[in-house]
């Protein structure tokens, strides 16, 4: 009888929209929000996208992905391509990006450094920041050398450690956090067979001993990169600067490029400190 009474209470609560129904609806809302955020991250990394691309990037089935995309189209965050074959970033995403700048916006503060490094090296310079277990290409500047490292676009994501900037970010983290990141990486490193967790641990140790990251032929054949973290005044990693080029161009100028990266990273650190002081006010 006790069980029957409990059953009746649960049914009554469900009919009235009581606590149990509310908990279920909250869970569904949280799940739906997470799926929407995953789709928005996919568009932040690349645009335009086809439905198969969205499903592959988010792990959602096509029916669910299309349902959420249709809602995002209605709200202006996604737009159909003119030919109707895919989807692109909508005006609302572009508006958010345009208004995201702040006095301490590291992309704006680091832009002069990217320009100087690209002019000095002739190669592709990348500004990377951490987003959870990922490194995100926040900005880049392409130099004048005809063979360019254009495999990273603004918004591109990779697991921490995959790439010179991503490895610089990883190397600057506390040891326990590095272990947590690598333990969680698992299958995400599978597309990069030369950069498994054990190899990344060794590369972190080498980078710390050397004072900068040197990554050669690990992600793309015949391409190398050199990178260094940008720390704030508290010693916390804020970003990473890296230069990507043909492997031989990196090797023959490694010391000079590392010195230039170190100078610019220090300049960005000072810019961040100045912006923080200005934001604090009197």
Query: Which residue range is the domain that position 249 belongs to?
Result: 106-280
Domain final residue pick, 66, 95, 124: 95
- Which of 89 and 112 is assigned the larger pLDDT? 112
Average pLDDT over residues 108-119: 96
Asked, for residue 192, whether it belongs to a domain, the answer is yes
5 pLDDT higher than 60: no
Q: Predicted confidence band at 6 (pLDDT cuts at 50, 70, 90)?
A: very low
Average pLDDT over residues 92-121: 79
pLDDT tens, position by position, 189-241: 999 999 999 999 999 999 999 999 999 999 999 999 999 999 988 889 999 99
Peptide bond into 48 cis (omega under 30): yes
* Mean pLDDT lowest among 77-86, 115-124, 247-256: 77-86
162 pLDDT higher than 70: yes
Query: Could you tell me if 158 and 236 lie in one domain?
Result: yes
pLDDT tens, position by position, 82-93: 766 789 888 777
Domain final residue pick, 95, 117, 151: 95
Give me the CATH number covering residue 9. 1.10.10.10
23 pLDDT higher than 60: no
Query: Could you tell me if 180 and 261 lie in one domain?
Result: yes
- Which of 176 and 94 is assigned the larger pLDDT? 176
| Number of domains the chain contains | 2
SS3 letters for the chain?
CHHHHHHHHHHHHHHHCCHHHHHHHHHHHHHHHHHHHHHHHHHHHCCCECHHHHHHHHCCCHHHHHHHHHHHHHHCCEEECCCCCCEEECHHHHHHHHCCCCCCCHHHHHHHHHHHHHHHHCCEEEEEEEECCEEEEEEEECCCCCCCCCCCCCCCEEECCCCHHHHHHHHCCCHHHHHHHHHHHHHHHCCCCCCCHHHHHHHHHHHHHHCCEEEECCCCCCEEEEEEEEECCCCCEEEEEEEEEEHHHHHHCHHHHHHHHHHHHHHHHHHHHHHHHHHHCC
Asked, for residue 100, whether it belongs to a domain, the answer is no
Query: Could you tell me if 131 and 193 lie in one domain?
Result: yes
Predicted pLDDT of residue 186: 85
Asked, for residue 56, whether it belongs to a domain, the answer is yes
Predicted pLDDT of residue 274: 84
Asked, for residue 7, whether it belongs to a domain, the answer is yes
Domain final residue pick, 95, 115, 146: 95
Predicted pLDDT of residue 84: 67
């Amino acid at each position: 009888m006790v069980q029957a009474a409990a059953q009746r209470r649960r049914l009554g609560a469900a009919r009235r929209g009581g606590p149990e129904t509310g908990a279920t609806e909250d869970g569904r809302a949280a799940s739906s929000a997470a799926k929407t955020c995953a789709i928005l991250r996919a568009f932040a990394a690349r645009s335009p996208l086809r439905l198969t691309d969205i499903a592959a990037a988010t792990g959602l089935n096509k029916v669910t992905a299309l349902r959420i995309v249709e809602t995002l189209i209605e709200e202006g965050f996604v737009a159909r391509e003119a030919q109707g074959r895919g989807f692109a970033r909508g005006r609302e995403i572009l508006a958010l990006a345009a208004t995201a700048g702040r006095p301490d916006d590291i992309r704006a503060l680091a832009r002069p450094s990217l320009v100087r490094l690209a002019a000095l090296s002739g190669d592709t310079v990348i500004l990377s920041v951490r987003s959870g277990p990922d490194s995100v290409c926040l900005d880049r500047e392409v130099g004048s050398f005809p063979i360019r490292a254009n495999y990273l676009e603004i918004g591109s994501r990779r697991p921490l450690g995959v790439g010179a900037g991503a490895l610089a970010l990883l190397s600057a983290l506390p040891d326990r956090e590095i272990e947590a990141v690598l333990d969680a990486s698992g299958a995400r490193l599978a597309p990069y067979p030369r950069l498994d967790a054990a190899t990344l641990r060794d590369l972190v140790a080498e980078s710390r001993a050397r004072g900068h990251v040197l990554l050669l032929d690990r992600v793309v054949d015949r391409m190398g990169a050199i990178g260094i973290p940008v720390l704030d005044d508290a010693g916390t990693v804020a970003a990473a600067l890296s230069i990507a080029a043909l492997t031989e161009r990196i090797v023959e100028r490694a010391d000079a490029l590392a010195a230039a990266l170190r100078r610019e990273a220090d300049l960005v650190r000072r810019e961040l400190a100045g912006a923080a002081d200005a934001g604090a006010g009197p």
